[in-house]
Chains A and B, each alone.
Chain A
Amino acid sequence: MIDIIIQLLITGILLGGIYALVSIGLCLIYGVLEIVNFAHGEFLMLSMYMTYWLFNTIGADPYISILIILPIFFIFGAAIERIIIKPLINADHLNQIFATVGLSMVFQNLALLLWRADYRTITTAYSSKSMIVGNFMISFPRFIAFLIAIGIIVILFVFLKITYTGKAIRAVSQERRAASLMGINVDRTYQIAFGIGIAITGIGGAILMPIYYAFPTVGNLFSLIAFVVVVLGGYNNLIGALAGGFIIGIVETFSGFYITPHLKEAIYFALFIMILLFRPTGLLGRKENA
């Protein structure tokens, strides 16, 4: 019994790290631009397809393809920010929401058009390998994905803490007008933050590919996870998002084992609605964020 719980906990934590990485881009973008990117999951989907094609054309290992995906998705994100987000930065919520909803429609259906609705997976030498530690089994690709996820998150935190750009991003997220008075180029900071958010999401797609499958609407599921994680963590709190990721990972493994994996999404949603209803500031959020 205890063994089962520990095993579930390990699986949940590994999954949680990945979920945290998948969500943290959304959180960063919301924190800085105050825009919820409804196309978040679609960026992840595109990166999964890219990983798939890199693997199937030039045989790039998913973990290696991160090096290719990172710059491409940064530029991709920055470009999308310039074209779609920037004109709407001071617009009504309605316009902001539907701009990214529109973007998500475009990406999802473009994927459907180009690659059909088939599920695509990649099989690497380590796809189904596991490590046995004591009585517990740890899936190898999940473990690697976890390490990469945590590594990227640590790098992000350090970047935000010590570099000028990182400090500018934090300053803008706290008070954009004051930041601009201090000589920070707010527009540029928005663009960089959006680019970083998308680049991280791109990495998320790459590390997911060996353990999951790509299909045009896969973004819906991960958008949902990211929304739940971000709300759990208190909206614009990166540490909160990290914690939220772990909570969702653990909840998913336990509910999958004890209830049913078929209702996995319904459980996320129920959790999501419950947090919004009973603790609208998020589990780890402060009051003014509500």
Chain B
Amino acid sequence: MKFSKNGNKIKSKFIISRKNVINAILLIVLFVVPLIVKSPYYRDLIFMMFFYAIIAASWNFIGGFAGQISLGHTAFFGIGAYTSTLLYLNFGLSPWLGMIVGAIFAVLVGIGIGIPSFRLKSVFFALSTIAFAEVLRLLSVYFRGITKGTVGLLIPFKEGIQYFMFRDKLPYIYLTLILMLIVIFVAKFIRDSRTGYYLMALKEDQDAAESLGVNTSLYKLIALIISVFFASLAGSFYAQYLLFVDPDTVFSFGYSVNMALFSIIGGVGTVLGPIIGAFLLTPFDVLLREWLGNEFFGLNFVIYGIVLIIAVIYFPSGILPRVQKLYKKYFFKNILEADSRKSDEYRKINEGEKIIDKEFFLKSNILKADSTINKGSALLQVKGLTKKFGGLTAVSEVDFEIKKEEIVGLIGPNGAGKTTIFNLISGFLLPNNGTIIYKGNNISNLKKPHKVCYTGITRTFQVVKPFQNMTVLENTMVGVFAKTKDRILAEAKAKQLIDFVGLTRNRDFLAGNLTIADRKRLELCRALATEPELLLLDEVMAGLNPKETEEIISLIKKISQTGITLFVIEHIMQAIMNLSERIIVLNYGKKIAEGTPEEVSKDKKVIEAYLGEEYVTKC
């Protein structure tokens, strides 16, 4: 272990320096090329490349990082263009201020449209964004008094930095380049922060993310705000460059599609993908237009359409991830670390581990469950809990109590309402009646699972919900982030948890590639990472072979020893009898028995529920 760590350390240093050199060279090239290129034609091309890179990257925040596909992003682009232009034309406000006003306005509008639309399924979110952009386009055509309708607004040329107008193209190019670098920087920062992990997680599985304490609506909104802010700024830049704004350009559906197209070609959801997409496609676009001429107007869009279709069918991950894969394959064959993002930071993380070892994990328990409640007193009290689905009462007047540091089993035939009770406790469902008191607070009306997670209750799912395209480590980190913002700390703690549940060998595997037994372990690991006081386990042993079941049972016992209270749904009787101190039995939504495993197994009602009436008399 030590040896490989050292080996990696040396190599990771090498990567860092090499990467920085490459970055520095790229940066110099970006700044020098516009100086060398003298022809206005090519300078225009360079401006368009930077400009498209900005709008593609801005779309990528919401469409790529958060996975919420906006097809009406021009709405915000147009708001920026119109706001700064109208403020300048009517009130003489400098476009520099105007674009900030526009961006703030766009953000407010974005929040207004985002909050209600995020409830929709992704396709209908996309539709509502199209509709929104169309409404803005139609209104800007209709209100001629302000916008001059389809004629558009002309900005009279007046040179001066305070007017954001220049005779030469060079200042525009550099300003756009700076904005592009800012967007890249923000994207990189977001990607590597807790927010980035949360966005990846909610994109993969919203319910699982919520159960781990991710306020999914809030994080989607954060992504939207950043996205809208830059799209609006880009709109103002565009207006100042062309000195002309009209509804059919700035609100065009085509722009919205282009934003996404660049990202998809380059690599959707990556930091540099949209930039690469824009850099490749913009010159292609210019060449194509030139080559086709006016004779074949429209053919370029036909070609884009075909490119788009082929890309989503055959190369859905885009260019950047493929190139990265190849790069790794040929240049870093002997580096064990799978992910470049991690190898960069390897040294820092090792240091982080040491700090954590001293400050946090020198205690005997990895998992700490500090509590104001003493062992043996009530942690969770459920009273008169009732949930109806239409005419069906899934849970009816259920009362029970769970004491601190207990292991309580919840059993019952299929359809008895076990999972519904978990859904009610964990905030995925609202009860029709009854209360759920946790540590003296009523949590039955929290509505949002992430809020329940923050009170100290975490659940696993009957059908496991791993974040398939994230590694085991990243999955676990999402859980750890419930308690810390620091990524290095989170990574170190996640590693210890992974060791604890026995997934060490699979740490850098994608969760989608794990076996069912390992997925169940991961589900446990992720839930533990949120440092719950009460852990709800929904059939963690279902589908496992006897050996795997045994391993999970010993793991659950180990978890219990750290002081975490467990509430367990299970169908494997042997396991639940062996594990639980107390068992609650449900049938048809009602609690029919409660007691120690022996008591419950002798209870007539329980036997009747499981085996039918005739067995009761025989016993």
Contacts and interface: CB of A to CB of B under 8 A. Distances in A.
11 contacts: A36-B123, A84-B309, A97-B71, A97-B123, A97-B126, A98-B312, A102-B306, A231-B127, A269-B131, A276-B127, A276-B128
Interface stretch (B16-24, B46-54, B133-141, B595-603): B133-141
Contacts of A5: none
Given A98-B257, A98-B264, A99-B308, 19 more contacts: A84-B313, A98-B260, A98-B311, A99-B309, A102-B309, A102-B312, A103-B305, A105-B301, A105-B304, A106-B302, A110-B298, A113-B299, A262-B142, A269-B138, A272-B128, A276-B124, A276-B131, A290-B120, A290-B121
Contacts of A122: none
A224 interface: yes
A112 interface: yes
Contacts of B300: 109
Nearest to B300: A109
B268 interface: yes
A273 B132 contact: yes
B377 interface: no
B67 interface: yes
A263 interface: yes
A54 B313 CA distance: 34
Contacts of B301: 105-106, 108-109
A252 to B, nearest CB: 15
A168 to B, nearest CB: 24
A266 B138 CA distance: 6
Contacts of B257: 98, 101, 105
Interface string A218-247: 001000100100010000000000000000
A93 B313 contact: no
Interface string B98-126: 00000000000000000011011111101
A57 B297 CA distance: 26
Contact of B313 (A94, A95, A113, A220): A95
* Those 8 A-B pairs whose CB atoms lie nearest each other, nearest first: A105-B305, A102-B308, A106-B305, A109-B301, A112-B298, A109-B298, A102-B309, A95-B312
Given A97-B71, A101-B257, A263-B142, A88 B308 contact: no
B527 interface: no
B330 interface: no
A270 interface: yes
A109 B305 contact: yes
B298 A113 contact: yes
B247 to A, nearest CB: 12
Contacts, number: 132
Contacts of A96: 123, 312
B312 A113 contact: no
A18 to B, nearest CB: 21
Contacts of A224: 131, 134
A92 interface: yes
Chain B interface category by residue count: 35 or more
Nearest to A91: B316
Contact of A269 (B120, B121, B135, B299): B135
A104 interface: yes
B123 A265 contact: no
A134 interface: no
Interface of B: 63, 67, 69, 71, 116-117, 119-124, 126-128, 131-132, 134-135, 138-139, 142, 253-254, 257, 260-261, 264, 268, 296-302, 304-309, 311-313, 316
Contacts of A97: 69, 71, 122-123, 126
A93 B123 contact: yes
B133 to A, nearest CB: 9
Given A98-B308, A102-B306, A87 B138 contact: no
Contacts of A216: 298
Contacts of B135: 266, 269-270, 273
B548 to A, nearest CB: 26
Interface string A266-290: 1001101100110010000000001
Nearest to A84: B309
B312 A266 contact: no
A43 to B, nearest CB: 14
Contact of B142 (A103, A220, A266): A266
A173 to B, nearest CB: 16
A260 B551 CA distance: 71
B297 A112 contact: yes
A212 to B, nearest CB: 19
Given A102-B305, A102-B306, A231-B124, A95 B296 contact: no
Contacts of A290: 119-121
B68 to A, nearest CB: 10
Contact of A93 (B119, B122, B297, B306): B122
A94 B120 CA distance: 15
A255 B131 CA distance: 18
Contacts of A265: 134, 138
B525 to A, nearest CB: 26
B127 A36 contact: yes
B119 A94 contact: no
Given A273-B132, A276-B117, A280-B120, A105 B138 contact: no
Of A91, A104, A113, chain B has the most CB atoms within 10 Å of the CB of: A113
A202 B268 CA distance: 35
A276 B121 CA distance: 10
Contact of A273 (B131, B138, B142, B307): B131
Nearest to B309: A102
B313 A280 contact: no
Contact of A88 (B127, B134, B264, B312): B312
B101 to A, nearest CB: 25
Contacts of A91: 312, 316
A220 to B, nearest CB: 8
A87 B305 contact: no
Of B124, B135, B299, B309, chain A has the most CB atoms within 10 Å of the CB of: B309
A227 B128 CA distance: 10
A106 B117 contact: no
Nearest to B67: A94
A277 B116 contact: yes
A29 to B, nearest CB: 12
Interface in A129-157: none
A101 B70 CA distance: 12
